[in-house]
């Protein structure tokens, strides 16, 4: 799980901010939507972040928000932003962490990672088995890939199909 330590709310220039935000950080008067929009990015996230399903936002010794991550998207300068949703009471991750002390000790780096019993999802190949800390069970990424190749035909036919279908994203 990703843990992010926030500072108090501060104003930023929307023309200079990669996400066009007016402020970042935490303020006790912020609602959940404002807290999520202000702090979903722009973070320097390591390779491990790509495998994480949840993030916690903490400030002043208390977890303020839990986020379920759908994906990480690149923003300027090699930083990333989270796409997903903030969790609400009744969700197991929210109930376990929000309002409590941060699950990790404070460090100079605002980004830390920790293992949690809540870090499990179903394998991305569709087998229905739970996976902790990643998207696939060992070898199941290849199983999923080859199943999709077989739907097109041979590997060569898949490559031809991909090359004719894929459109390279343009930089904004």
Collect contacts of 49-52 with beta carbons under 8 A, ≥24 apart. Answer: 49/2, 49/80, 49/111, 49/113, 51/133, 51/134, 51/135, 52/1, 52/2, 52/113, 52/119, 52/133
Q: What's CA 60's distance to the chain center, in Å?
A: 22
Mean pLDDT highest for which of 86-90, 103-107, 156-160? 86-90
Question: Mind listing the pLDDT tens digit for each residue in 33-78?
Answer: 999 999 998 999 988 898 888 999 999 999 999 999 999 999 988 8
Predicted pLDDT of residue 28: 96
Helices 155-165 and 140-152 cross at an angle (nearest 10°) of 80
Question: Mind listing the pLDDT tens digit for each residue in 148-160?
Answer: 999 999 999 999 9
**pTM of structure:** 0.72
């Amino acid at each position: 799980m990703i843990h992010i330590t926030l500072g108090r709310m501060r104003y930023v220039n929307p023309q200079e901010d990669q996400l066009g935000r007016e402020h970042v950080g935490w303020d006790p008067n912020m609602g959940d939507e404002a807290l999520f929009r202000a702090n979903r990015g722009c973070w320097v996230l390591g390779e491990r972040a790509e495998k994480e399903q949840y993030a916690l936002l903490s400030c002043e010794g208390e977890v303020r928000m839990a986020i379920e991550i759908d994906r990480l998207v690149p923003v300027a300068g090699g930083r990333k932003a989270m796409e997903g949703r903030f969790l609400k009471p009744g969700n197991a991750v929210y109930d376990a962490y929000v309002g409590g002390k941060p699950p990790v000790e404070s460090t100079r780096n605002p980004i830390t990672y920790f293992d949690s019993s809540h870090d499990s999802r179903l394998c991305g190949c569709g087998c229905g088995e739970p996976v902790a800390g990643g998207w696939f069970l060992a070898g199941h990424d290849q199983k999923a890939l080859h199943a999709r190749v077989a739907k097109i035909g041979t590997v060569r036919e898949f490559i031809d199909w991909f090359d004719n279908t894929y459109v390279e994203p343009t930089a904004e």
